[in-house]
Copies of this chain bind each other. A is one copy, B any other.
Amino acid sequence: MSITLTQPLDMHLHLRDNEMLQTVAPLSADSFAGAIIMPNLVPPVTTQEALIAYKERIQEAIGETTFTPYMTLFFKPTYTKAFLASLGSDLAAIKLYPAGITTNSEGGLSGFDVEELRPTLTAMSELGIPLCIHGETNGFVMDREAEFVSIYEMLATNFPELTIIMEHITTKASVEALERFPNLYATITLHHLLITLDDVAGGMLQPHLFCKPIAKRPEDREALRKVALSGHPKVMFGSDSAPHPQHAKESCGCAAGVFTAPIALQVLTELFVEHSTVENLQAFVSGNAQTIYKHLTVPQKSITLEQKPFVVPEIYGSVVPMYAGKTLAYSIV
């Protein structure tokens, strides 16, 4: 059996910069027609110049492969409507990080004051620019996302015309929030469909499965699988593929992030086939995203997968992927 996916999209991707960008961007371009590119560089992407320059560096790293990087700004409450409007189709979304919540998020938001946020969020609503949020409080690690749901609700209520995307959701609480507000959407990663905290810290400690938000409980994974596998129209695939060099993962104080870009479509295909829901995969990896984002221009690119063993490389450049050395059931052909 072969499965062809039309215009597959990764709606949450870290490409980093410099040498790492050169390593990882072509791998995403091999699998996807485009991706929403996270802006948490050092310094974060907050100006037109930085955004355009980063887009050009990505395009250069990809070379001739057909792949559209959909660029994002790092949220600041001082963005004006005129500034955002001037970016036109160069801007796909804005990513909001609470301060210090994950890698390179030090310049993020330290509070959620509606009136402080109103000008920028109103402008985004009017311009149809989605707001992508890393939704975690600084509370206890297993509660951070569930605690953030009240902030999602506050934003969804106060800005009913704003498209709000709960990024890389990991909990039943977030899945339930999806149903309560028409303008709340979500991305779900590959790894959160596969693992729980047991895989990270239940046996030996597994740094390559350590990420933020951390993998949660079995019932949380079940809730995520339910909406992803059913092709629920409010959820999209976003890998949150986050490369770190091997030494930063396999050391004392290991960095957060799972590198899944080169295996994502293969493993998703296996997962959806296994659950007899492969007819929903197209919606999860492309259709829903195009409906939710409205203004994406997606290249006509198809990816075909076949049931043919794929041995995952032990390392790509300096980055160890998820399932390194394992044999997957599906290959991109």
A residues near B (Cβ < 8 Å) are 140-142, 196-198, 200-202, 204-208, 210, 214, 217-218, 249-256
Contact = CB atoms under 8 A, between A and B. Distances in A.
The 3 residue pairs across chains A and B that have the minimum distance between CB atoms: A141-B202, A204-B253, A205-B254
B141 A255 contact: no
Contact of A141 (B141, B198, B254): B198
A138 to B, nearest CB: 9
A253 B217 contact: no
A252 B217 contact: no
Contacts of A217: 140, 142
Contact of A204 (B198, B204, B205, B255): B255
Tallying the copies of this chain within the complex gives: 2
A196 B251 CA distance: 21
A205 B251 CA distance: 9
A142 B142 contact: yes
A205 B202 contact: no
A252 B208 contact: yes
Contacts of A205: 205, 207, 210, 253-254, 256
Given A200-B201, A214-B201, A206 B140 contact: no
12 contacts: A140-B196, A141-B197, A141-B202, A201-B214, A204-B255, A205-B205, A205-B207, A205-B210, A207-B207, A207-B254, A250-B250, A250-B252
